[in-house]
Structure 1
Amino acid sequence: MAGAVTSKGCQKIRGSQIKELLDAKRNVLFDCDGVIWNGETAVPGAPEVVSSLKQQGKNVFFVTNNCTRPRENYVQKFSRLGFNDVAQEEIFSSAYCSAVYLRDVAKVQGKVFVIGGSGVYNELRDAGVPFVEEETDTSGGSIYDCPLDSEVKAVLVGYDEKFNFLKLAKACCYLRNADCLFLATDPDPWHPLRGGRVTPGSGSLTAALETATDRKATVIGKPSRFMFECIASQFGVDPAQCLMVGDRLETDILFGTNCGLDTMLTLTGVSKMEEAEGYRDSEAPEKKDFVPDYVVDTIADFLQTEEED
């Protein structure tokens, strides 16, 4: 067949090649930031892509390492940006999956100490997982005399704009107990902001605590398999019938590789084609896991159904 997808490894596809790939898949997993939207602006054509896939009978899921908001707020954002048919059950954030892990896998018998924001707290609350309430004012506190909760059995680290030395010190104290679980919502080191600026991500805060405690956190979000296991347990999806679409090679694409999914890089976010080709051409075997099977300029290319010359 002319234009058929015949090989993998950073293959730039378009037109009928994309259609052929999508025809072979029942489930499409999208990252959000850099794929579906950038900040408060939807990627042009993205709402139409999601609607089109659903009209074709595809299952569409959204897997995001962004833990700053609960799933109900994600539904509101989707609606605000023109996505009119996204259900809460289709959204798998690192905050939600962390709460599920603590409740259903770890079955933590005690409280969780959180380094994170309202998104994490709200998802823990909705899952019925007890946690230490966030302190509104720690300016006068010191690790020498601050209270520690004897019921803490887990420490969860996520994105936290109010991160401070006292939170780090408290988490260190809790993690001196070898039986205290150490979890991270995601490993993202940084996030792009408008104007070329960046903000430290959950991964950078986790690294500080790992250094201080000489322990390694269990990562819940991408590239860990657990997000996909959440989807599979709730919807019974087959990895062979899934396509993972993301903009970050070291998280989205590695996630897809770890879960046995076909992967696609879209160039509307963090990673560039040159980086993907660099991983592809590297002699280091471990770098191959970062290589996407396919590449598109934007997911709006999904709207093309005819072969392009």
Structure 2
Amino acid sequence: MSIYKQTCTNLLDLSVPQISSWLSSFDSVISDCDGVLWIYGKALNGAADVMNQLKAQGKNIYFCTNNSTKTRAELLTKGLELGFQITEEGIISTAHATAAYLKQRNFDKRVFVIGTEGITQELDFVGIRHTKAGPDYMQGTLGEFMAQHLKLDTDIGAVVVGFDEHFSFPKMTKAASYLSDPNCLFIATNTDERFPMPNLVVPGSGSFVRAIETCAERAPIVIGKPNPAICESLIKQKKINPSRTLMIGDRANTDILLGYNCGFQTLLVGSGIHQLSDVAQWKKSSNPEDKKLIPDVYLPSLGELLPALVESQSGGSY
């Protein structure tokens, strides 16, 4: 267990020996992607150098993203282009995990997908039938839509909801209608409320999931962070030791909470959603659920760890 457990200690305030001791306390690193390693198509300054340096020091490196818009192969290509030394086996994505969840349960019906081709391609890889990703426009008035255009399939056995820039009233109506059957599975790739973007709010998958949840009057099975199921195989196969695993994230209610739920050490970076001001509020809160969001350690951005990493290896000071 980390000596900094849920203290939100700023790593930049530590000495080289303290940094070295902290680095030696974990063997594996699981990092969120958006807001930690990159924002859209641009790597955050120094992030690749830090992750590659950790790998060079013998750490097991995993990228864990709630982004369901890309397959593992696409995420691998993106990571390599941005300078990260990763493998496809080291990528944990909700699109891949969703397909695996259904495959493991011998799912043999068709999936109604609210999402992108990241989900449908992963379903294709495991031989699960599905509806197409893309627009489903509202046609005519509500009355015309209901009477003339609304057609429900009879072979849908699951509704999967992820990020969908074409989210629409017809999709919402169909999803809730399918889910009126209690045997139809309701699966959310993740419940992230929004994407980390400067000066702009971009709705995340959670916004669509909550809309369907409200309409269907059902709660979904959540595949992604903070559900520990997304890391279950790594733990069961003993690829990682939870107490010697570091979870890095920018969003406390997914990344840091996943770390709490799995017994990982946690590092919050301030380059995305949550900041020190949020942590200060959670520390004051009387709600025990808020306490779970407090990280062990903190950095303004992941790249700021690089000088300390290098100096800790050489035994110098910074």
One-letter identity of the residue aligned with 2:151 = P
**Larger deviation: 130-139 or 92-101?**
130-139
| TM-score, scaled to structure 2 | 0.89
Q: Find the counterpart in structure 2 of residue 175 from structure 1.
A: 179
**Larger deviation: 157-166 or 136-145?**
136-145
Equivalent position to 1:268, from 268, 271, 274: 271
What is the deviation of 1:290?
0.5
- CA-to-aligned-CA distance 1:72-109 (integer Å, 9 cap, x gap): 111111122122x21111111111111111111x4323
| Counterpart-to-counterpart distance in 2, 1:22 and 1:139 | 54
| Counterpart-to-counterpart distance in 2, 1:51 and 1:188 | 27
| Residues 35 and 196, structure 2, Cα contact 8 Å, conserved in 1 | no
| Residues 143 and 169, structure 1, Cα contact 8 Å, conserved in 2 | no
| Residues 65 and 93, structure 2, Cα contact 8 Å, conserved in 1 | yes
| Residues 18 and 302, structure 1, Cα contact 8 Å, conserved in 2 | no
Alignment partner of 1:114 is 2:113 = yes
Q: Find the counterpart in structure 1 of residue 96 from structure 2.
A: 96
Q: Find the counterpart in structure 1 of residue 220 from structure 2.
A: 217
Q: Find the counterpart in structure 1 of residue 49 from structure 2.
A: 48
Structure 2 spans left out of the alignment, 5+ residues: none
| Counterpart-to-counterpart distance in 1, 2:134 and 2:294 | 43
What is the deviation of 1:302?
3.2
Q: Find the counterpart in structure 2 of residue 19 from structure 1.
A: 20
- CA-to-aligned-CA distance 1:186-228 (integer Å, 9 cap, x gap): 011111335x111111111111111111100111101111111
Pair 55,282 (structure 1): closer, same or farther in 2 beyond 3 Å: same
What is the deviation of 1:137?
5.6
Pair 102,20 (structure 1): closer, same or farther in 2 beyond 3 Å: same
The equivalences for 1:282-297 within 5 A come to 282-297=285-300
Structure 1 spans left out of the alignment, 5+ residues: none
What is the deviation of 1:38?
1.9
One-letter identity of the residue aligned with 1:19 = S
The equivalences for 1:231-246 within 5 A come to 231-233=234-236, 236-246=239-249
What is the root-mean-square deviation of aligned Cα atoms in Å? 2.0
What is the deviation of 1:18?
3.1
One-letter identity of the residue aligned with 2:64 = V
- CA-to-aligned-CA distance 1:144-184 (integer Å, 9 cap, x gap): 44332211111000000011111111111110100101010
What is the deviation of 1:138?
4.1
**Larger deviation: 56-65 or 140-149?**
140-149
**Residue aligned with 1:290, SS:** coil
| Counterpart-to-counterpart distance in 2, 1:180 and 1:234 | 30
Identity %: 37
